[in-house]
Structure 1
Amino acid sequence: MTTTSVPVAAPAVLDRIESVTLSSITLPLPTGISDAKVLTGRQRPMTEVAFLFAEVRTEAGFEGVGFGYSKRAGGPAQFAHAREVAPDLIGEDPSDIGRLWTKLVWSGASVGRSGAATQALAAIDVALWDLKAKRAGLPLAKLLGAHRDSVRCYNTSGGFLHESIAQVMENATRTLESGVGGIKIKVGQPDSAEDLRRVRALREHIGDAVPLMVDANQQWDRPTAMRVGRALEEFGLVWIEEPLDAYDAEGHAQLARSLDTAIATGEMLTSVAEHYELIRTGAVDILQPDAPRIGGITQFLKLATLADHSNLQLAPHFAMEIHVHLAAAYPHEPWVEHFDWLHPLFNERLETHGGRMYLSGRPGLGITLSEQARAWTVDRVHVDASR
C-alpha cells in the first residue's frame, strides 16, 4: 500500500506593532477659501487644514503611514482621541486590521462610532493598510485588487467662490492643460441667478465636451434645489453635489427622482450607517464617501461593497492620495477629486494626463512625508511598549 504524506503548513510568520507615532500637522492655505457656506454666513473663510498623521512601525522594521484631517474645528480632538487609544495597538499583529479597528472603537465606545472618534481611528487604519501593502511589496490598489491602473479625475480647488468667474475660467484652462479631465465649481450663493451666470460662462469657456460638475455645499432648501436643479439641466452637468443638507435623505431622493442630472452627496457623513440611509432611500446617484471621515479604509471597503451592490457610481471626496487606490479597486468606473492643496505635505506627486489620474508603482499608498510637513507639526506623541 502506498502512503501519501500530507504537507504540514508552516506556522504563520507574524510581525508585531512596536510603536505608533502621531503627529498633528497644520497646513496653511495661501488664500482664504470661500464656498457657499461662507457667503451664507455659516462659516468663516478657511485658512488652514489640520491633519492627523499616524506612523505605525513593526518589530521587523516595516512602517506604514496614514492620515486624516479636519477643516476648521476638530483637529485637536482627533489627535487627543488617537493618542488615548493608540497604546492598545502595541504588540498586536498589524495584519489583523479589521479586528484592530473594532478593538480601537471599543476602546472609545462611550464617544460613539462616528464623528471625531472614528475619524481619529482613520489615520491609524490607513497606516495599517499602507503597512500591509508595503509588506506585500504592492501598491495598495493592487493589494485590494485593482480594476484599472488609472481613474477619471476632476478638479475642485480652482472653482471656489472667493474668486471671480474670470479667474475660475483661467484656473480651468490651466487645470485641463495639466491633464485633469473635469472641472467642478462651487454654487449655492444667496442669489441663484449669479450661480447660473457663472455656470453658463464656464460652460461656454470650456465647451460642451469637458465634464462639468457643481457643488452647492448644502446651502439650498428643497424648493430652491428643485428650481435651480431644473435650470441647470441645460448645461449637461455630470452631477449636482450636496444640493441639500447632508442628512436630508428624503429630499435628495426627491431630487434624484425628478432631475435628469445625477445627484451626488455623502462627503460630510461620518459612518457607513449614515451612507447606507442614502443608499436605502434612493437618495443618491453618485456616492461620495471620504475614507478619513468614515473611519478609514476598512470602513470604506464595507461601504464600497454596498454601493457596488446597488450599482451606484463612486466619487470619493478629497484625499486623492488615498482615494486613487480605493477608486481603482471599485468595479464601476469612478471619479477621483483632484486637489493640489496637499502637495507640500508629500515628497511624491500623482501623475495626471488624458483626463485620468494614474497609480504609481510604489508600494502602499506611495507617499512619504516631506520636511515641510515635519516643520508644520504642532504636536507629536510617540507610543511604544515603554509607555
Structure 2
Amino acid sequence: MRITAIESSVVALPFSMGGPHPLFAGQPWDRLEILLVRVETEEGLVGWGEAFGHAAIPATKAALDTIVAPLVVGRDARDINAITRQVLHGVHLLGRNGPFVYAFSGIEIALWDLLGKRSGQPLWRLLSGSAPDPAGLDAYASLLSYGGDLELVARNTADARAQGYRHVKLHELTREAVLAAKAAAPDAAIMLDVNCAWTPPVARDMAASLARDGLAWLEEPVWPPEDSAGLASLRRFGIPLTAGENTAGLFGFRALMEAGAIDIAQPSVTKLGGIGEMLQVIALARAHGVEVVPHCPYFGPGFVATVHIAAAQVERPLIEVLWLEMEANPFDPWVRVRDGKVEVPTAPGLGCDPDPAVLARYRRAAPTRIEARRAA
C-alpha cells in the first residue's frame, strides 16, 4: 500500500466564543484554523490527519511540505512504526518538540485512518477497545480567556452547564474567576488552566490560595513547563495537577511522572508525534498510577482521533471541547457535543471524511501536494 501523495491544506472557520475574540500568540484570533493532511495510496484509499495548529500553522505547514512529507511519500502506509522511527530520527536535529514533530503527527494520524479503512475496522477497535457507549463520552467545556471579566466567566460557565456539561475549564488567572464560575454552576466540576503563567514561587502562593476551593485540577501552573521539580513543589497543596500539552514525547512524560509532578497527564495527539506515541504515554501513565485526560482543543481529525483513543484506552474518558460556536465544520457532526457528550464514530478508520463542499468554501488557499516519484 504505497503512499503516492500527501496534501496539506488549511480551512479557516469563523466562530463566536461568548465574548470578545482574544489575541493568540499576538495575532487576532477570530477564525478556527485546521491544518489538514491528506494521504493517498496506490490502492485509491485516502486517509486524513491533522497537524498542530492554531498560530503555529505557517511553521508546521512549511515543515510538512518541505521536509516531512517528502520523507514519507513512496513508503508503505502499513509500516507505521518504521516510518515513525525513521522520520522522527531523521528530523531530530531540527527539534524534538515543534513544527517537525507536529507535521509528522498529522501524517501519522492519517496512516492510522488508512489502516482502519483497509482493514474495515474503526480506530477504537484497532486499539483493542470494546464497543463504546452509544450515548458517547463525557466532554468538558474548555472556555476561552475573557481577560478576567468575571461577568463573562459566570455567564459562559452557566451556559455550558445548561447545555449539559458537567465539567468546565477556565483559562483565567485569578481566584475570583474560579469563585465566579463555582457560583454560576455549583454542581459542575471547575478546572483552571493558566497556561504556564507563574514562576514556582508565585505558583505556590496561588495554589495555597486556591487549596480550599475544590478545583478538579490546576493545569500548567508553572513557567517554564519543563520545570518538573517546580511543578512537583505544588503537590503539597492538595490540588490535582495536570500538564502535558507542551511535553516532548514519551520521555518528557517520564520525567514529569518520575518527578511526581502530575496527577493527570495531558498528551496531545497532534503535537506529540501521533497515535503511536500517544499509546506509549498512556501505557506509561498506567504504570505510574497517573490518570490521562488528553489535550484536544481541535475540530478536525486530531479531535476525532482523540475520541477513538480515549474510548479504547482511557479508563474514565473526558474529552476537551473548546467553548465556541463554529459557522460550519467539515467534520460535522462528529466534532459537536450533545448534552455534554461526544459520539464515537463506528465506521472504518477515523469513521468520518470531511465534507468537500465545506472544505471548498472555507479553504484558505489551494492545497500543497507532494507526490512520489514514478519509477523510470
TM-score by length of 1: 0.84
- Which residue, 245, 254, 266 being the options, matches 2:233? 254
Query: Which position in structure 2 is the counterpart of 1:82?
Result: 64
Query: Which position in structure 1 is the counterpart of 2:316?
Result: 333
Query: Which position in structure 2 is the counterpart of 1:278?
Result: 256
Partner Cα distance (1:95, 1:200) in 2? 51
Letter in 2 for 1:75: I
Letter in 1 for 2:72: L
Partner Cα distance (2:77, 2:185) in 1? 48
Instruction: Please say which of residues 368-377 and 330-339 is displaced more in the overlay.
Output: 368-377
Partner Cα distance (2:321, 2:202) in 1? 28
Letter in 1 for 2:370: V
Partner Cα distance (2:137, 2:37) in 1? 26
Give 5+ residue unaligned stretches, structure 1.
1-14, 189-194
User: For the pair shown, which has the larger CA radius of gyration, 1 or 2?
Assistant: 1
Letter in 1 for 2:285: A
Instruction: Please say which of residues 276-285 and 318-327 is displaced more in the overlay.
Output: 318-327
Letter in 2 for 1:16: R
Partner Cα distance (1:271, 1:49) in 2? 26
Query: Which position in structure 1 is the counterpart of 2:167?
Result: 182
Partner Cα distance (1:272, 1:378) in 2? 35
Query: Does 2:200 correspond to 1:222?
Result: yes
Give 5+ residue unaligned stretches, structure 2.
none
- Which residue, 363, 371, 376 being the options, matches 1:384? 371
Query: Which position in structure 2 is the counterpart of 1:8?
Result: none
Letter in 1 for 2:240: A
1:277 to 1:33, Cα distance in 2 relative to 1, 3 A = farther
Instruction: Please say which of residues 52-61 and 349-358 is displaced more in the overlay.
Output: 349-358
Query: Does 2:133 correspond to 1:154?
Result: no
1:26 to 1:325, Cα distance in 2 relative to 1, 3 A = same
Instruction: Please say which of residues 146-155 and 269-278 is displaced more in the overlay.
Output: 146-155
CA contact (8 A) 1:180 1:352 kept: no
CA RMSD in angstroms, aligned pairs only: 2.5
1:367 to 1:163, Cα distance in 2 relative to 1, 3 A = farther
Aligned residue-pair number: 358
Query: Which position in structure 1 is the counterpart of 2:47?
Result: 64
Query: Which position in structure 1 is the counterpart of 2:330?
Result: 346
| SS, match of residue 5 in structure 2 | strand
Matches within 5 A, 1:1-387: 15-27=1-13, 29-30=15-16, 33-34=21-22, 43=26, 46-48=29-31, 50-72=33-55, 74-83=56-65, 84-146=67-129, 148-149=132-133, 150-157=136-143, 159-162=144-147, 164-188=149-173, 195-207=174-186, 209-245=187-223, 246-256=225-235, 258-317=236-295, 318-319=297-298, 320-339=303-322, 343=326, 344-350=328-334, 352-353=337-338, 355-370=340-355, 371-374=357-360, 375-378=362-365, 380-386=367-373
Partner Cα distance (2:338, 2:34) in 1? 28
Partner Cα distance (1:366, 1:204) in 2? 39
